[in-house]
A and B are shown apart, each in its own frame.
Chain A
Amino acid sequence: METIALKGLKKYFRVFKRREGLIRTFASLFKRKYSDVKAVDDISFTIKEGELVGFIGPNGAGKTTTLKCLSGLLYPSSGNVDVLGFKPFERKNQFLKSISLVMGQKNQLWWDLPAVESFRLNKEIYELDETTYQKNLNELMELLEVGTQVNQPVRSLSLGQRMKMELIAALIHHPKVLFLDEPTIGLDIVMQKKMRDFLGKYNQKYQATILLTSHYMADVKELCRRVIIINNGKLIYDGNLDKLSQKYSHHKIITAHFDNSFDRQKLSKLGEIKSIDENKVILHIKKVDTRQAAVTLLEKFKVRDLNIEEPELEDVISIIFEGKSNV
């Protein structure tokens, strides 16, 4: 059963064009020029129950807009949006009780009050009974390793602690579908790791469907088997994370450690030399030539160690973002 089904989603924004110059600015008070920005342009995908999908793309690609359409905040310009059998924009209570949206840069907590007051309010809003509320709260606090900070005014918490509180507030009603927009933004490495562990556990424990955007590839690599990549409002890739580099990169990386000096000229004939660090050389070699290059290296050069790898995910992604097909 598909939890999320998106078909031909389009969201265009009308943007007021500012003109330069005093007279023109003044004139624009009376006559404004608008243009359409295609934030999301014909995107379709489906997500099954319990899937944890990474949703990636460069800044301004349309990720957040898509999430907002899925969670019912934005009215789609056209297309069909179906989440848990609901049309999100109708914002039926039954739908809202089953989802949650967490935005790394926006908070729903009452700034001046202890976080627990915001949780209590959500308990009332989501109409949870006392036992369910206590049970959910304790579980979330344990998973996120939160203690007495819940009784401290939110404004006095660190960013990381606040993000944990935001998550508790967003998950207190155990949503079936969770949209996360940059949940790890601004967090240090340790906190990022904890947040990832938490999301992984939450996904497994409650079979929650999670769609997550992040700029940190580590988030995606560790959590998601499937990724959806968009750029300029269009869907570019939807599939297994592992197959991404096979599809988009046409080279492999060979790292070779030499015993002593080597002939740079000869080496550069094998492939592109990316870096030389004393006796360590990193080469980018076309996939089809990799085998031959490795054989040549071992036979013709004095190699102490040799390592063949797929390119880093970051590199593959930036290739895709920049629209280039070779490196």
Chain B
Amino acid sequence: MFKYFYVTKNSLAEFFTYRLNFILWRVRVIISILITYFLWLAIYAGQDNIFNYRKDQMLTYIILLAFLTGVVLSTQTFRIAEEINSGNLSNFLIRPLNYFVYNLFRDLADKFINTFFAVIEIGLIIIFLKPHFIIQTNLVNIFFFILSLITAVALYFFISLLLSLIGFWSREVWAPRFIFFIIVAFLAGTYFPLDIVPKSVYRVFELLPFTYLIFFPLKIYLGNIETQFLIKGFSVSFFWLIVLYLLLKIVWRQGLKVYTAEGK
């Protein structure tokens, strides 16, 4: 395993050659969070409870999105499709390495650097906008929050990998990914906490993997540690993890069979 840390190290070094790219990406993340932040601020004007969320809970939710986007949604896996289509995948297949683990450690660099900046930005937001930011101190909440974060990272990693492996069969990998971005933005809870929708719709959301990328960890952070909520949440997450993992194995094996190592 340790040999892959060099991948993280090189990926980090690579980041600094594309500083402008990275800065603009951060700007994008922050702007989208600020928009959501001010939107909710306006909705809460004059009242303190909407959809069972207090104002400070809602604003904390939105601000922490920056952190979760960094930890969970940062990925370089879209490069896989490019590597498959350009034939550069060959350079990985020819070496004794596990391509998935390699990608995990490449993502680690991405997550590390995005999270690092997210934390600074959150600090700035709290200093300048002075929202009532909830700091969770209950160790049980923090424990389950971290556990749900790890689950979320794995879920997102698996789904992203699967999407990139489409590259084995089609050159048009950006369309599915784009739809995926929109689905995640909506169904993971990056615009609003998912449980403000009608109960019947939320029942469906609960069964989808997307719910557990953002909403579930944040809900735990904000204080929801009802046993039933946790058991249900983690069971559905683990169910999806197993399904996605098996699917990945099959798709990867089939993909390699049709891989043509083009361009050489």
Contacts and interface: CB of A to CB of B under 8 A. Distances in A.
Interface of A: 13, 64, 68, 71-75, 91, 93, 96-97, 99-101, 103, 105-108, 110, 112-113, 117-118, 120-122, 124-127, 153, 181
Interface magnitude class on chain B: 20 to 34
A93 B263 contact: no
B260 A13 contact: yes
Nearest to B17: A112
A207 B261 CA distance: 29
A106 B88 contact: yes
A74 B202 CA distance: 46
Contacts, number: 73
A105 B256 contact: no
Given A75-B257, A96-B94, A106-B263, A125 B3 contact: yes
A93 B96 contact: yes
A127 B4 CA distance: 11
Interface string B72-97: 00000000000000011011011111
Contacts of A75: 256-257, 259
B6 interface: yes
6 contacts: A71-B94, A74-B260, A96-B95, A101-B94, A103-B90, A127-B3
Interface of B: 2-7, 10, 13-14, 17-18, 87-88, 90-91, 93-97, 256-257, 259-261, 263-264
B13 A122 contact: no
A113 B13 contact: yes
Contact of B94 (A100, A107, A120, A127): A100
B29 to A, nearest CB: 23
Nearest to B102: A125
Contacts of B256: 75
Contacts of B95: 96, 108, 122, 125-126
Q: Which 5 A-B pairs have the closest CB atoms?
A: A124-B3, A108-B91, A96-B96, A93-B96, A112-B17
